Structure 1
């Protein structure tokens, strides 16, 4: 549905494209990096559960040295013991098998949640990118308006000196100019906030930004958007995997009623020394030493556990019921979001179209007002009002273009179509969560650890925008 080619267009040298901004977000955003780390922690639960079904081996040693009156206790001055043991679970009643199924389902749910976070972060990045474009355009429009009003004030003063206009006309022109300067200051403050948000979200300063590509083709109606969301939305998939995990938990809890079988083997060496002799051991200056080995099997058959298993099963069933209801709630919320976003997107497209017509009409009206004012048919205030209306309509158009683009991207995200692969991004390695999970499933070493954790993203400081950036071109002219 989302054409990758739509985000691969060429840009002027030095300009940042939306695709490049999204690729930088994919690498630099700390929220996304934290979600990946959380998923890696979830991966390890599989190994923790699996260890309960694997052999357990160990060695032990003991050295006891008598210090005072030792012969009164054991007859030996020193006792040395060294041994090794091996325990092998043979049958766990199905508890480990079902716990592994639950762990696997939770990993899959976490992977879907990572997809959802990735989409949400990309929407935030698109919003930050479009905010900067919008606010730079609005600053440019307000700056141009100030220049026009400065020219108007100068012309009004000249005509006042010539006796064609009154002091009231001059005061009106000056008041309107000061109001425009105030609007320009507010627009610049808003732009600064947008540039800082861009840097916080994307991890780099907002330099020269290229206009975004055309929005990919969206569904023609809400029903098609809903059908796509039910198949692709990661939140729905994550909720379904959670149901599977809790269902496996029920089976694992029931397995606590089943018998378990384990096998064991051990080998021990011992040495008892009586260096002083004449002690209770009866060995003068000698020692007793030897070794022994054992093998065995243990069968545990639970008969009654005080109602523990029944409570565990009922608890797991309640959690499964909760997950089922949450799955329904998630589907409802996704459907509601898709339909509401689709409606909002269509409304914003209509607003953008109407705003464009309004700009064209106000442009013609202002030309007419200026012509009529030059021959005395209009007052200065009429021209000033026409200029203000044209400015307002241009700002409205810029905002409508901004809102419509973001709304379209939000719709794609609600449908589950916003991620690194579907956007066709480039510029860094793709993070595949399955790689870490596969490594976790293979690892059975007690000494396989990761390096000491360090932050993979860094704070950004310094000027938000390099001073050499030229004035921007508005979204709408």
Structure 2
């Protein structure tokens, strides 16, 4: 089956122009409609489409007309040789009959490059969507990390107040207070760094999607990911749009060589022409002889151009075309290597991130129990303040690792879909209007032969973000229950009254 129904990935209701992208589907749709990278790539593809009628025009008849009027200011005595004025007009028709295959191969090369451009447009979509997914997940990850660091700062502030209170009554030393102060200062610095990263992620989101992120929902699971890396590579080699585009560019260069070779072959054209002249009564003026003042002529012929020597230009063009074909062949190999590496590395990152998620979930739960136990043991005097601070840090580290692994797994999974050619608009089932079809414009222009017309002055399609407010590090939703740490952190330090084993 050519396409897996990835639209299940993004199930949900969507509006055509959401005010803020709260779901992954809305973010992808907004980027698809208004991101300048994709809208610019569509315009570029429309320009590539025009190469077909341009190439075909060299094999179609051409008609040229000329006209003129002249006044002879100085004339000799013989007005038959020097009439005072003259008006003339002519028309010529040239019908190409044989161009050595240059026209046919130029058209084929242009058509092949249109196919390459359409595949390249698919790749642009996949790359854009991969970036959107990464930006979406970055905001979720960094917002969670900010929330965790804020939680950590609040806990350490409570710890510091408790340490100072116990120091006042002599239960703790100045060293314990200093340790609490140092750890709080570090936590505040980490919070500042986390907030800066969150702002950067949100600004990158605005750059790609065009609107600020709202309260982002967790994205749905990725369906139908391969379980064997060889299957992923096989599908990537068969369906990756970048590889298809490179292969079609390579195919087009074969026709370029034929076009270059045609430069040393004969060219035959059929010609037809007609002319009309009128001396406007000035021919034979001043004589008694009456002569005709107008004249017409018509011609019909065959034109043959047989190149004999062109200074080595045709051979140079052939060698140049052959070298470019060699380059295109190597480009296919380079792209193939990149696709294989992308599929294998994405598969590896996805699988390893899944393992990291499982380990991190266990670590978070274990660190919660550890922190609870350390605090309980501290209350009976068997643990120090430093033990509590280290347990707090261990819990925070495991929570951050879990959040990061979730992000890495999802992005790697989507990147794997992109490598396999299954992360484009038609795969994702985006709604909110018809999807862009590059063949519509191509079919519209490919057979046009009129010298007049155009599509009008282009208007901007992508939306500007100049009026978008600067992003902040405000946390918009509560932490995941697994990330939240419902540990009793208000337990009195070094006093045994609240110890569980004394209840």
* 1:413-459 per-position Cα deviation (integer Å, ceiling 9, x unaligned): 11221110101112243111111111121211111212122332133
Q: 1:161 to 1:285 in 2, by over 3 A?
A: farther
Corresponding residue for residue 264 of structure 1? 271
Corresponding residue for residue 340 of structure 1? 345
1:436-475 correspondence runs (5 A): 436-461=441-466, 462-465=468-471, 470-474=476-480
Q: 1:239 to 1:71 in 2, by over 3 A?
A: farther
Corresponding residue for residue 414 of structure 1? 419
177, 181, 185: which one pairs with 2:188? 181
Corresponding residue for residue 394 of structure 1? 399
Is the 8 Å Cα contact of residues 198 and 473 (structure 2) preserved in structure 1? no
Unaligned segments of structure 2, at least 5 residues: 484-503
Corresponding residue for residue 432 of structure 1? 437
Corresponding residue for residue 6 of structure 1? 9
* 1:152 and 2:163 aligned: no
Q: What's the secondary structure of 2:50's corresponding residue?
A: helix
1:351 positional shift = 1.5
1:387 positional shift = 0.8
* 1:377 and 2:382 aligned: yes
CA distance in 1, matches of 2:227, 2:298: 77
Corresponding residue for residue 321 of structure 2? 316
Is the 8 Å Cα contact of residues 198 and 206 (structure 1) preserved in structure 2? yes
CA distance in 2, matches of 1:9, 1:371: 47
Is the 8 Å Cα contact of residues 207 and 466 (structure 1) preserved in structure 2? no
* 1:172 and 2:175 aligned: no
Q: Identify which range, 316-325 or 435-444, moves more after superposition.
A: 316-325
CA distance in 2, matches of 1:138, 1:324: 46
Is the 8 Å Cα contact of residues 23 and 428 (structure 1) preserved in structure 2? no
Q: 1:384 to 1:178 in 2, by over 3 A?
A: same
Q: Identify which range, 311-320 or 120-129, moves more after superposition.
A: 311-320
335, 353, 364: which one pairs with 2:369? 364
Unaligned segments of structure 1, at least 5 residues: none
Is the 8 Å Cα contact of residues 125 and 202 (structure 1) preserved in structure 2? yes
288, 293, 296: which one pairs with 1:291? 296
1:61 positional shift = 0.8
Q: Identify which range, 177-186 or 249-258, moves more after superposition.
A: 249-258
Is the 8 Å Cα contact of residues 273 and 286 (structure 1) preserved in structure 2? no
18, 33, 49: which one pairs with 2:39? 33
122, 127, 130: which one pairs with 1:120? 127
1:344-355 correspondence runs (5 A): 344-355=349-360
* 1:39-60 per-position Cα deviation (integer Å, ceiling 9, x unaligned): 2221111111110011111322
Is the 8 Å Cα contact of residues 362 and 390 (structure 1) preserved in structure 2? yes
Is the 8 Å Cα contact of residues 54 and 88 (structure 1) preserved in structure 2? yes
Is the 8 Å Cα contact of residues 87 and 262 (structure 1) preserved in structure 2? yes
1:70 positional shift = 6.7
Is the 8 Å Cα contact of residues 147 and 475 (structure 2) preserved in structure 1? no
Is the 8 Å Cα contact of residues 4 and 424 (structure 1) preserved in structure 2? yes
Aligned residue pairs, count: 474
* 1:231 and 2:238 aligned: yes
Q: 1:152 to 1:10 in 2, by over 3 A?
A: farther
20, 33, 51: which one pairs with 1:45? 51
